[in-house]
Amino acid sequence: MARPQVSIHGCEDGALISRQLPLPAIFKAPIRPDVVHFVHSNISKNHRQAYAVSKEAGHQTSAESWGTGRAVARIPRVRGGGTHRSGQGAYGNMCRSGRMFAPTKTWRKWHRRVNRKMRRYAICSAVAASALPALLMARGHKVDKVAEVPCVVEAGVESFSKTKQAVTLMKAIGAYDDVEKAKESRKVRTGVGKIRNRRHTMRKGPLVIYKEDNGITQAFRNLPGVTLLNVSRLNLLHLAPGGHLGRFCIWTETAFKALGEIYPSDSLPRDMMKNGDLTRIINSDEIQRVVRPAKAQRRPAIKKNPLKNINVMVRLNPYAKIAKRAATLALLKRAKARAVAS
């Protein structure tokens, strides 16, 4: 991000006003999809509720093995008679009405601890990625009509209390297409989740970030796909839903100013390398001028069998060539003699 100033939209008509804000240092933080994905996948587990099957499940019957000698498997079998159930296998995970293999327990390790620095790194990366239009479009946000990102709106928007005001502003700054996209994407969930109080799915829309809630949450909360966050409590689960960078964020003026105080430049993560093109660095004239020349590698010689390779045998025994020649001539002489005799 080379742009040092960010324009501000008016809260009444959405037009760009003459006042500008300096770009906070957090938008120049390194963008690390690997860190964001790791942190997201771990902290998203921290709101899970424990579940388990009943500890008595599959064992609520009286059963005992018949032992050996009756030509049946030694699995425990239901006692009694006069019913189909008697004599049926029980308890085992391979049996009908038996317990499952390794029954689930509530003391499973449900939650994950993530280092604070890594969580902070992930939030900085997600905020920095929200200022790149290419990443926003790649994530599916409709930002073609938005003048510029990051999108900053005048502080007066925090006093909005009516949804009608929020819709008017969204249309004025060109962000309402993203809301419409989220609204049209609402569908019935596939699978059994539809009967577990999560019947519908919907795409994510804009993320509105404010500093003081003077009615803004009441105004925006009913817009489809829109999420609201306080700037002092930024949440990676909303900044990078699914662990994917590039959420379209709409900042209020006061929240945008507060970013510099919450994330000062001296506390931000830094790039390990200014230039990530390692091949270009290694092959540059400056590096190649001082490195030692590459050593010529000698390939180890392949050992050959002297009994099968005459050249190797001659190196070991120079007389072998004469002996082999004499043997060949003697063979030819005997063949000629047999031909004359016949």
Work out the pLDDT band at 3, boundaries 50, 70, 90: low
What's the pLDDT score for residue 78?
96
| pTM of the predicted model as reported, rounded to 2 decimal places | 0.77
Work out the pLDDT band at 319, boundaries 50, 70, 90: very high
What's the pLDDT score for residue 299?
87
How much is the average pLDDT of 66-89?
Answer: 95
- CA pair distance 298, 179, nearest whole angstrom: 66
Q: Kindly write down the DSSP assignment for every residue of 107-162, as one continuous string.
A: TS-------HHHHHHHHHHHHHHTT-HHHHHHTT---TT-SSSSEEE-GGGGG---
- Is 126:245 a contact under the CB 8 Å cutoff? yes
Instruction: State pLDDT tens for residues 90-121.
Output: 999 999 999 999 999 999 999 999 999 999 99
What's the pLDDT score for residue 266?
86
Q: Which of 285, 194, 204 is nearest to 241 (CA)?
A: 204
- CA pair distance 228, 219, nearest whole angstrom: 10
Indicate if the pLDDT at residue 18 is higher than 80. no
CB-count burial class (<10 Å; 0-12, 13-18, 19+) for 263 = buried
Instruction: State pLDDT tens for residues 250-275.
Output: 999 999 999 989 999 888 998 888 88
What's the pLDDT score for residue 13?
77
Indicate if the pLDDT at residue 2 is higher than 60. no
How much is the average pLDDT of 189-209?
Answer: 95
- Percent pLDDT > 70 in the chain is 99
Instruction: State pLDDT tens for residues 115-169.
Output: 999 999 999 999 999 999 999 999 999 999 998 989 999 999 999 999 999 999 9
Indicate if the pLDDT at residue 24 is higher than 60. yes
What's the pLDDT score for residue 14?
73
What's the pLDDT score for residue 1?
47
Q: What is the mean pLDDT of the chain?
A: 93
